[in-house]
Structure 1
């Protein structure tokens, strides 16, 4: 069996481009005892991949991708082609963590990505399989657990979500709306802002046409209680200014720093002055919330209360371009590659 893979050719020092990757073909062995052979059909493209394209990933995060090796730790959906593992049969739709390749040999019981990437059979009877890479998978778990760590699952507060038309942001925004919060959302184009207004937010702002601090003061003059941070930098600084006493920040990502020199907020003492709580988190470390999230979010999706958007690129060779476009803010919702 031959498998086509995308491998990292060079660690980019600035903007990511297709030139930093290469496509190769490798031989795969037959599956051994406890293993399955999977033909991948959908693979994920996530902002966090940019951190793993550094020579050294941030301490405590997933490891950096080695040069010239398979890119393990990328969530993927596929079909079992052959199985020597109990509980997995030919034709099953599964998820696993060996993406950005056409085929993979997967150990059925090996823990991957704190459980969220461990091989699992998926129920696709009334669910498109790629949803398990989006709202019903790690993306949904990240959005839901971010609100959980900020103690914001009860509703009734004012919540700001940044990068709110992105994969995690769009879902966190809509979950917050469904929970009964008054939600402020920010994004980087007029089209994204228009879409956010359609999904029930109290206000949506374009940070490219108005300084984010001024926009936040205009739409939330009385302040905010919770900030779901996907951006960092000037957005986090604006949030600290706008926070009410005892406010909470769920620090999900810092996309403003992924391809440039990091810049922290200049007003960090407000954390002390306002008795704020800043909670960093990773969805994969809250695997215990997966079934709860899938039940709630799955219900809202099927009832049409949550709208899921995808930016789909066709062909494995398009994965590097999809990543570059996503990091540049050119995609909407979950970015996926269909194999």
Structure 2
């Protein structure tokens, strides 16, 4: 019988997750039944939103895995899949039943020249999020000014590149000189190191007439500053609030009056809504040629070793990771 290594939570997080919040166990897997496959993880995704889930329900997560045994027609041994099975080295899956977040296992293509890890990154949830939320929700117009927070991250870096293809002036906020250099290299017009520069002064310099669109991945003090620089009728897309994930929710700032006075248009975007999940195949089909043709570039932060999952997860909140966080099993 196959055995799996499985990370689970020892306790609910208090503040920043810590290494001793996690425990590694072994699990004996059952024999396959009809309609089931046995998969082995190749690449595992780590994303900040995992912090919001109760650990008693298991540690959430998507992985690219290879089928090592199959009793499911259409899922041959050796094929690659994306599966929301959490922090597991191996899993037995019923291909007809929803997994984590209500999403079924999905066969993916092996594309020459592109790493399979991109299917949990720039061609996966983060890339699909960027494509749909920016191009299909914000109605971007040539000449507008957009500010992207967490601009070197998995979602922000793709949003900025897509914005340039639409003729926008793109300003990115990032937390180090290396990250600022990276976003300039991939086409951002301006990069602001929010740890060293005064954000308000820099925005006045790069966008003296105000900001049309704010793509918010962070929240917190950065959000507070950027909101004050939005033009009337400005648009905001709230994709993430990583600055608040480790804080009590009663500390979230109230922006009710500025929203009203400036008549701002603020939209949220939840990639795992049923309608959005159904669009994954369509958007992935649009993204693959953009990466193959080098029109879009992706940055990955790869940690080697399944045993290092907790360490890599914690790095998401300390700023020490650079690019889409992926663990190579």
TM-score by structure 2 length?
Answer: 0.93
Taking the aligned partners of 1:74 and 1:183, their CA distance within structure 2 comes to 31
Equivalent residue for 1:273?
Answer: 261
- Report if the CA contact (8 A) 1:136-1:297 is conserved: yes
1:267 deviates by 4.7
Once the two structures are superposed, residues 247-294 of structure 1 have per-residue CA deviations (whole angstroms, 9 ceiling, x without a partner) of 111101111111234543455312111111111111122124323422
The answer (yes or no) to whether the contact 1:156–1:180 under 8 Å persists in 2 is yes
Are 2:25 and 1:24 equivalent residues in the alignment?
yes
- Residue 282 and residue 173 in structure 1: after superposition, are their counterparts in 2 closer, same or farther (change >3 A)? same
Aligned-pair distance for 1:218? 2.3
Is the Cα contact below 8 Å between 2:150 and 2:173 reproduced in 1? yes
Determine the C-alpha separation between the residues in 1 that align with 2:45 and 2:142.
30
**Residue 176 (structure 1) aligns with:** 163
Shift of 1:104: 0.5
Do structure 1's residue 88 and structure 2's residue 89 form an aligned pair? no
Is 2:108 the counterpart of 1:122?
yes
Shift of 1:100: 1.4
Q: Name the residue aligned to 1:259.
A: 246
1:162 pairs with 131, 137, 149, which one? 149
Closer, same or farther in 2 for the Cα pair 1:113/1:24, shift >3 Å? closer
CA RMSD of aligned residues (A): 1.8
Residues 37-186 of structure 1: matches in 2 within 5 Å? 37-52=38-53, 64-66=54-56, 70-71=58-59, 73-112=60-99, 117-126=103-112, 127-148=114-135, 150-153=137-140, 155-186=142-173
CA–CA separation in structure 1 for the residues paired with 2:4 and 2:288:
33
Q: Give the Å deviation of 1:3.
A: 0.5
Match of 2:293 among 280, 300, 303: 303
TM, length-normalised to structure 1: 0.90
Instruction: Give the distance between the partners of 2:174 and 2:32, measured in 1 at CA.
Output: 45
| Counterpart for residue 315 of structure 1 | 305
Q: Separation in 2 of the partners of 1:291 and 1:33?
A: 26
Instruction: Report how far residue 20 of structure 1 moved.
Output: 0.6
Structure 1 unmatched runs, 5+: 53-63
- Alpha carbons of structure 1 residues 156 and 199: separation in structure 2 relative to 1, 3 Å: same
Are 2:187 and 1:200 aligned?
A: yes
